[in-house]
Structure 1
Amino acid sequence: MEHRITEDEAALYDRQIRLWGLDAQHRMRNASILIAGMRALSDEVCKNIILAGVGSITLLDQEVVTEEDLGAQFLVRREDLGRNRAEAAAEKARHLNPRVKVIVDQEDIVQKPNSYFTQFNVVCLTGCSPEQMIRIDNACREAQTGLYVAGVHGFFGYIFCDLNQHDYREETQETSTERGKEPETKITRRSQSYDSLATTLESTWGHPKPKLLKRKVSPLLFAIQALWLFQQQHGGRLPQSGSQEDLTKLSKLRDERLKSAEVDSTFVKDDLLETLVASASAEISPVCAIVGGFLAQDILKTLSGKDAPLLNYFLYNGIEGTGLVHHVQKLNA
């Protein structure tokens, strides 16, 4: 059943309505979101989306709260140790905005059929294996369900977005030639095509010069893709901090990925991989806040239908303090 925005909600979300418009807020108020994998990054996304006033949000996680979760997560507490992570997080999340329906699902995402994901407007995956990321992306593309995949590994974070074919409106201000007349707002309808995750993993760059390539893409893109290859070959696990053997394996996968992408072998430096391996399983709160804030804002932008969402990778380097957006396709000039 469609939910109409009440006068109380209009007053509560007044600032957002002024920014996005009533129609956009109405779409968000009736949207259903899935957040799979409850970690520090997920907490940031949940907080921002719930406060924005979406219709419902489903938290999916089969794991229980451990000591590691207490470091950066703010939706779980020490007394939640041993409880299901989604259930514990939902209890705190509901207090953020009682108007938003928060649903808990404690099943393993691996056991979920493709049809499960198509009931949502947007699916957001964190902490998933590459195999599941690709499977769910393909299912979402068939159903025209928006997909975001995100993760934080120590000082580094990434977001991938696949909306298949997304329609949105773009507002521009046109200055009138008549003296004293206020600028007019022009609304343009636009459409944007997205590549699947599997397709971007096959992207080639045609052996560009390193300086030219660096203007187009961050070396972190290939480091993250090498990390996914590592997970595929090692049952989904991340490299262990301090393991020279894992670092050697990841370096080999980096070289293979750069070769297949037709990129100079020196583009991704060893020190980047060393830092990535040293903190691959860690979540640093400030990094989660930055990546999670960007991710939540982009999900809301997708739901509102106003302005162009992320196309299609966002890569954050906390050491350099840079966050770069890259459009990655199978064949790049």
Structure 2
Amino acid sequence: MRALSNEVCKNIILAGVGSITLLEHENVTKEDLGAQFLLRQEDVGRNRAEAAAEKARLLNPRVKVIVDTEDIAQKPDSFFTGFNIVCLTGCNPEQMIRIDNACRQGNTGLYAAGVHGFFGYIFCDLKHHEYREESQGQVTERGKEPETTVTYKSQSYDSLSSTLECFWGFPKPRVLKRKVSPLFFAIQVLWLFQQAHGGRLPQGGNQQDLEAMFKLRDERLKSAQVDNSFVEDELLQTLVETASAEISPVCAIVGGFLAQDILKALSGKDSPLLNYFLYNGIEGTGLVHHVQKTEA
């Protein structure tokens, strides 16, 4: 329950879902107050979910807001299959992959998202999702309402782990940019750093962390058959400098997109995200990419 979660919860609760469960075991710190509008100064030291729930319930009393203060790492796989949608924010890569696999087994939709300074990402896995699209025809007679045509469609999703095993065949950078943003690989490098450093994020101003990110960048792009120049040093350095920062406008943009897509998935109306959304706050771009597992 940090700044991105606040945005998602606000939008989902205002939309009037039946119930929402906030899972968080950590307590509010002074640093949390800078970007979280569901918290106040007097909440410091309290459980984040319990403190946020009090303000969240006021947004829409008809929505049941449930608080769970257990550690997500201690939750069994079966816990996550008891929901229509699971939304993970700020989790480490091992947790995201484990819970995604559990949700796929239980046919539960999953979103995983995070904001790191100027950058944000959303991953969506609904396994196999059916939805409807409505379109209105032209009016043939004056005073007569146009006919609405309903079309039923479906789309299949890849697991998180499989999308990280893509091979791109060393295309030219300008060709590759048509298929995927450099931020897609930069976020993966960040996850690899977390896996190698006990889950922590790189620290701005730490030269060793920056060099470790560069090394992981080179290794990851080589394994994916992508030229090293595709993820520029400047992008990676900015990501390292701001990895732990919560910038409210970025959280609002990513959180707004995420909440809107969750509501699409729940309602079964219109096509949800397939399957990555990558936001670059420096460029002001938000790109959607459909990433599928490919063989070498």
Q: Does 1:284 align with 2:244?
A: no
What CA distance in whole angstroms lies between the structure 2 residues aligned with 1:113 and 1:210? 42
RMSD: 1.4
* The one of 170, 179, 185 aligned to 1:222: 185
- Aligned 1:92-111 pairs, distance under 5 A: 92-111=55-74
Give the AA of the match of 2:161. Answer: A
Q: Does 1:261 align with 2:249?
A: no
8 Å contact 1:207–1:264 — kept in the other structure? yes
What CA distance in whole angstroms lies between the structure 2 residues aligned with 1:54 and 1:251? 43
Cα drift, residue 220 of structure 1: 0.4
Q: Does 1:58 align with 2:21?
A: yes
What CA distance in whole angstroms lies between the structure 1 residues aligned with 2:169 and 2:151? 35
- Aligned 1:304-323 pairs, distance under 5 A: 304-323=267-286
What CA distance in whole angstroms lies between the structure 1 residues aligned with 2:64 and 2:136? 37
Q: Counterpart in 1 of 2:131?
A: 168
Q: Deviations over 1:64-103 (max 9, x none)?
A: 0001101101111110000000000001100000100001
Q: Counterpart in 2 of 1:193?
A: 156
What CA distance in whole angstroms lies between the structure 1 residues aligned with 2:171 and 2:148? 41
Q: TM-score, normalised by structure 1?
A: 0.86
Cα drift, residue 185 of structure 1: 2.0
Cα drift, residue 173 of structure 1: 3.0
Q: Does 1:238 align with 2:222?
A: no
In structure 2, the CA distance between the partners of 1:182 and 1:91, relative to structure 1 (3 Å rule), is: closer
What CA distance in whole angstroms lies between the structure 1 residues aligned with 2:173 and 2:146? 44
Q: Counterpart in 1 of 2:110?
A: 147
Cα drift, residue 182 of structure 1: 5.5
Q: Deviations over 1:34-63 (max 9, x none)?
A: xxxx00000000000000000111101110
Q: Counterpart in 2 of 1:331?
A: 294
What CA distance in whole angstroms lies between the structure 2 residues aligned with 1:209 and 1:246? 29
- Aligned 1:101-140 pairs, distance under 5 A: 101-140=64-103
Secondary structure in 1 matching 2:153: strand
In structure 2, runs of 5+ residues without a counterpart are: none
Give the AA of the match of 2:45. Answer: G
Secondary structure in 2 matching 1:94: helix
Q: TM-score, normalised by structure 2?
A: 0.97
The alignment of Structure 1 onto Structure 2 pairs a total of residues equal to: 295
Q: Counterpart in 1 of 2:210?
A: 247
What CA distance in whole angstroms lies between the structure 1 residues aligned with 2:92 and 2:280? 22
Q: Counterpart in 2 of 1:297?
A: 260
Cα drift, residue 332 of structure 1: 8.1
What CA distance in whole angstroms lies between the structure 2 residues aligned with 1:93 and 1:151? 21
Cα drift, residue 184 of structure 1: 2.8
Q: Counterpart in 2 of 1:90?
A: 53
Q: Deviations over 1:236-256 (max 9, x none)?
A: 000011111001111111111
Q: Deviations over 1:252-274 (max 9, x none)?
A: 11111111111111000000011
Cα drift, residue 174 of structure 1: 3.3
In structure 1, runs of 5+ residues without a counterpart are: 1-37
Q: Deviations over 1:271-309 (max 9, x none)?
A: 001100001001100000000000000000000100100
8 Å contact 1:43–1:75 — kept in the other structure? yes
What CA distance in whole angstroms lies between the structure 1 residues aligned with 2:54 and 2:136? 44
Cα drift, residue 172 of structure 1: 2.3
> % of aligned pairs identical?
79
Cα drift, residue 179 of structure 1: 6.5
Give the AA of the match of 2:115. Answer: V
Give the AA of the match of 1:164. Answer: K
Give the AA of the match of 1:251. Answer: F
Secondary structure in 1 matching 2:32: helix
What CA distance in whole angstroms lies between the structure 1 residues aligned with 2:217 and 2:157? 25
8 Å contact 1:175–1:182 — kept in the other structure? no
- Aligned 1:17-96 pairs, distance under 5 A: 38-96=1-59
What CA distance in whole angstroms lies between the structure 2 residues aligned with 1:171 and 1:208? 39
